[in-house]
Structure 1
């Protein structure tokens, strides 16, 4: 059981003060790998921009969280950092690790850095030459049944979800269109061509029922975030955005048989994570102004809406239609265009977008009066969530 007494002490004590991203749209083109920035160069570019954004100097950084695809030692060397605290983590756990490190006194200013040159390096995430096939169960355990890619796994999940709930292909299309509409308001987004429901339904099916707009991008890029203590953040000339809720629940049991994915669509993990993150933040789903959902595939969105209590189980289609998740909707979701349309940064770009929205700095896609932004993810049974708050005053 989570110790809420201890968790409550963490709420609001870590703040995101710097964000930096590379030029996703400008960099979206094929090059020979030898002529393209490697993952470390992309990460370094994002880090430099995050420092400028925060007003801190490199010498202020005493903690480092490195995203997968990068080695911790090499990243520290490239960035020229000697730190007292260094770990490796994915996007959501990077925020959690930085929050914990700051609150126990291991570091005061933590840089969270990610870079990936997956497009120019021709990285494959499926098929016989898939990257990491020796490590990822999706490419090994399920190959005899033809499930050699993430798309196949999520297509199976989508088919079962649609059979159980009545969710239709057009409902999936609504999600893809909402994210595309946000991307069209984002000058750094890669996919900005108009997308209507007719375009979607007439589009090529990649792995039934998933069409091309249901799949995330594969592109080069880097993201960096800087997290510091509340006390230090108050001395900086940036709007205060604090971490007020964290939650996680991992469903490892029977994961290799797809049980958590197919039987309840990770809802048991969602429920545990939601209970923790909302309890710690002192709010509920109705208080969320901006939602960011890990969206390697569009099907993530409806199961997350149900699992985190934005609507009853099985009613995501109705909720999306009635409430709206696109520009001007009641629950703006993946407001940068997400990983379907802006950039596939494995959830890191969602954190930067949450901060932008709470700062009121998202330009044409700004959600008016946004105070609470939530990030949710469920990847390979690992469910997690962060709630950020825009502080009214210092």
Structure 2
């Protein structure tokens, strides 16, 4: 099946610059394409994962990805989808984040035998001569047209800095640079990158008289249109140090029924026949599809052994058991409980609550259990006798579990 048909069937494709031409191109030759990732944090998050999966599908179909890490563009910051200007990062932080991204992306894309390329746009953006850049590149961009793009329009009322206004020119220049150096003809990205991608396509046409192409993907949203990947602790990260494999698994295990089929199609490699079958399950049966989704996504991101551990731990907790390994755990010194520790302090130490006031709210609303027993006393004291085999299970709400172990 043509790579375009695969992406279309699985629900990736949102917009294209030249639908028929892109499909024909992917059908007749090995295409070099690129996707950019700005290293604004030290880990990719689940919002990036849709484009990572699309890149993987493209590579499996025989095409060559260029993974572009935005060491240069991150110095400016993309205004797209932001109500305020991004926080400025130092070169040292960006360099650290770049190295983290490289390590993570290497898990999903094969770079053996030149099957993929990883580049950093800082290599050509950071040493540009500003006047030369304006004369060669800036002359081809209409300010009037740029202001019609949604990424700029929504910021005009609150204020758009000239720094951010340059971002579209820089990303467009990336496409031009990759076209010149690697014959890269296609840029892919999230649908929020549409205007930036159009800028690159237009720049290649103006300077080389050649047709290049752009294609955007659906953003990962719920059936209600809200962005997925937000948890009580913040973003759902791909780094196991920032989001544990167990928490990662639990997120997908607990998504809304209406989002299961979409996530199975976008975030796993399961055949669409199986995706459609699982997506049609209803009532209690849909839980089988959620377990499959959680296992498959966790396996891709964290490996099969971690997926098995998370799956086993989740099922054991559901049945009232306790299996170690994948459940988030805090180790505390036995001496801290010799005279008792109040429940609010314990919730703080395990980071199950962002504040003491939130802890009080949960307790008064019957949202906290210790080894299955509800705790309703705000002054409840936890001591060594509460620990069975040096272990105590805290449950927050219906779905969040955390183990405390004595050492």
Q: Which protein, 1 or 2, shows the higher relative CO under an 8 Å CA cutoff with sep ≥ 6?
A: 1
TM-score, length-normalised on structure 1? 0.23
Bigger Cα Rg: 2
Normalised to the residue count of structure 2, the TM-score between the two structures is 0.23
- Say which structure is richer in helix: 2
